[in-house]
Amino acid sequence: MLSGRRQFVPALRIGWLSLVTFLGLSLTGPAANAQTFTQACTRQSAPVLRRSGVNLLTDGQPSFLVLVSYFDAMRASEATLEHDFAFLKSKGVDGIRIFPLWVYGTQTPDATLLDADGRIRSDERWRHFDSILRKAGACGFVVDVTFNREHLDKASEFSVEEFQAGIVEVASRLHAAQRSPHVFMDLQNERGHPDAPAMQLTNVEVRRLRDAVKSADPSRLVMVSTQGGARKSLSLASRAELDVIAFHELQKPGWHDNTQPTVQKLKAGGVPVYLQEMARAPDRGVRCPRDTPEVNPFVQAMRHAKEAGAAAWTLHTAAAFRLDVEPFQTKILSCQREIDFLDTLKSN
């Protein structure tokens, strides 16, 4: 975790021989010394995530948290989860962002946590979800559990009431188990997105959803992300009394230059600022190749976020959009900007 202790180093620039070593093709390279999940992830209990003013606290300490998108976790095998979590732990990552209702491209909804009636799909799906959280907790990760009604709405009409009932059931089970203090929830990804009617929750519906979850799980930190600038994010957080402002960038070139003023505006809300979904490579504001003399936009944005007083920042990557097609590590290693970013995360 970060408590103001993370040191940043310039993005790596490696030649072919070093690249071969880095990718683990040499027994003397970093991969040869990589720790397994059982070696790297040894916590007996998950970290406790709370908030105090504009800060997020992990185990009582103010922390600037760096998460990585791991959206398709519900389709990852147990071995895949452990392999990827050990890799992210070795890089100094503080958490992951998952979508338990994720359905992307040609995928079917069979793996999702909820069905289209808002019920837990099966005991097996719940056990897998619980396993994701437990493994993340053992690594010391916080987990952003983001719900997205629009993905299940592709298959059938998925009402707001059914959506709310499903999330409340999840919150109730987490509260009853009392072993997921490291989880915070985005109750609807990008509320109000113009391209998806199922994402259109009114302020009243957001507040009702928030209150229902808080009734079931009073200490759970909740947020609802929006795409539309600082003013809309502040307004929604205030009206619905959200615990965290989850901000999404429009993902255009030059986005990282606006990080500091954006955070400063959002801090007026008096709650932690979480830059949850910023630009993405290779097509949304960041190119994968190392372009000299351009600095790594991910590194620059994260630095500016921390300096401006944000509480958390996520590397928004598509590397885990389809874990049924290509391994996460293979995908992220193919993007130089993303792997260079991970290689800057150094903790004491």
Cβ pair 88, 96 in contact under 8 A: yes
* Residue 290 DSSP code: -
Mean pLDDT rounded to a whole number for the chain: 88
3-class SS of residue 168: helix
Quote the CATH superfamily of domain 45-342. Answer: Glycosidases (3.20.20.80)
**Mean pLDDT of the region 163-187:** 97
Q: Is the pLDDT of residue 255 over 60?
A: yes
Quick one: 99 exposed, middle or buried, by C-beta within 10 A (0-12, 13-18, 19+)?
buried
- Is the predicted pLDDT of residue 319 greater than 80, yes or no? yes
Residues paired with residue 248 on neighbouring β-strands, in sequence order: 277
User: 65-98: per-residue pLDDT in tens?
Assistant: 999 999 999 999 999 999 999 999 999 999 999 9
Residue 195's pLDDT is: 78
- What 3-state class would DSSP assign to 79? helix
**Torsion angle defined by CA atoms of residues 59, 259, 204 and 192, in that order, rounded to the nearest 10 degrees:** -130
In tens, the pLDDT along 283-308 reads: 888 999 988 777 899 999 999 999 99
Please state, in angstroms and rounded to a whole number, the distance separating the CA atoms of residues 330 and 343: 16
State the pTM of this model: 0.90
Q: How far apart are CA 140 and CA 127, in angstroms?
A: 20
The crossing angle, in degrees rounded to 10, of helices 259-266 and 297-308 is 30
In the chain, where the domains are located: 45-342
